[in-house]
Structure 1
Amino acid sequence: MRLARRTHVLQVERLTPLGLTPAQARALSVLGRCDQPPRMAELAERLGVVPRAVTPIVDALEEAGLVRRRIDPHNRRSTLLELTDEGTAMRTRMYQARVGAAEDLFASLTAEQRQTLLALLEQADAATASHRH
């Protein structure tokens, strides 16, 4: 748990200069992984929050020029969300910030220790995934 907390703190420290809250960064990450622009309700579902919680996040991302809303051509009552070019560039900067945080976190480990840790994490992830299915 301490490691998870420390990872979170390091990521927040790296994301803050980018002008993003953790919730905004998470929403950008999710939007960037969508095959098709999602509706607001779909984004809320993927984030695991109620739909009304997404509105202020999307408002802030739109105001920053990272996300645009557009009317769903198949259902004019629905709004689709898509990353702007600046939003895509911000996802790249976020990724670099997260890599930097991980490098800081594991800087004291040798290459061999990092390989061992990676193997253990992959094994734990595989075991967890098999229990979910």
Structure 2
Amino acid sequence: MRPAEELRYLILAAQREGNRLLLQALRPLGITPSQAEVIRVLQDHQPLALNSLGDLLVCETGNSPSRLVDRLTSAGLVNRQISAHDRRHVELTLTEEGRHLAGQIATIEDDLYRSIDAAVEGRDTDQITGFLRAFVADMPAGQALARRTGV
């Protein structure tokens, strides 16, 4: 296996395993990792227009987050408010229940990050992080992440 191929599969394997762990941890809350990302982005950036939310999501790059928001609205976690000035502009905020759930999601994410921290303890991650940031910089998911982190 050539190095680039191995790197590709290692990244894919790490992403799948991380997503599997996150899915398991979120299951009792009744939400998916993509829904959790929407909730956490709203927690950090609300109020947000629907298209602005889409610009910050890594899970749904290139797609409108409308379906995710519809499910979260139906579940009573997100409010959709149509602007009085422009009916095409929909502003999103978390409901009280959504804010409570965001705190639970943050705790689950912190647990996941602690396990990742433990796995990389004693290793210099700056090079791999720099490489991955540069690798995805011109791609939609990388751009969404850069908008969220300001990096």
- TM-score, normalisation: structure 1: 0.74
Q: Could you say which residue in structure 2 is the equivalent of 1:15?
A: 26
Residue 78 (str. 1) matches residue 89 (str. 2):
yes
Shift of 1:45: 2.2
Query: In structure 1, how many angstroms separate the alpha carbons of the residues matched to 2:130 and 2:117?
Result: 22
Q: Could you say which residue in structure 1 is the equivalent of 2:80?
A: 69
Query: In structure 1, how many angstroms separate the alpha carbons of the residues matched to 2:32 and 2:91?
Result: 22
Size of the aligned set, in residue pairs, is 123
The answer to whether the 8 A contact 2:49-2:92 is kept is yes
Query: In structure 2, how many angstroms separate the alpha carbons of the residues matched to 1:5 and 1:130?
Result: 21
Report the aligned-residue RMSD. Answer: 2.6
What are the within-5 Å matches in structure 2 for residues 106-125 of structure 1?
Answer: 114=121, 116-117=122-123, 120-122=124-126, 124-125=128-129
The answer to whether the 8 A contact 1:66-1:87 is kept is yes
Q: Which moved more, 1:70-79 or 1:86-95?
A: 70-79
Q: Could you say which residue in structure 1 is the equivalent of 2:56?
A: 46
* Cα deviation code 1:27-47 (max 9, x no counterpart): 11211121x411111212222
Query: In structure 1, how many angstroms separate the alpha carbons of the residues matched to 2:116 and 2:17?
Result: 8
Q: Could you say which residue in structure 1 is the equivalent of 2:35?
A: 24
Query: In structure 2, how many angstroms separate the alpha carbons of the residues matched to 1:128 and 1:15?
Result: 26
User: Unaligned regions of 5+ residues in structure 1, if any?
Assistant: none
Shift of 1:127: 6.1
Question: Percent sequence identity over matched residues?
Answer: 28
The answer to whether the 8 A contact 1:7-1:105 is kept is no
Query: In structure 1, how many angstroms separate the alpha carbons of the residues matched to 2:116 and 2:88?
Result: 46
1:12–1:75 CA distance, 2 compared to 1 (3 A): same
Shift of 1:24: 0.8
The one-letter amino acid paired with 1:100 is D
- TM-score, normalisation: structure 2: 0.66
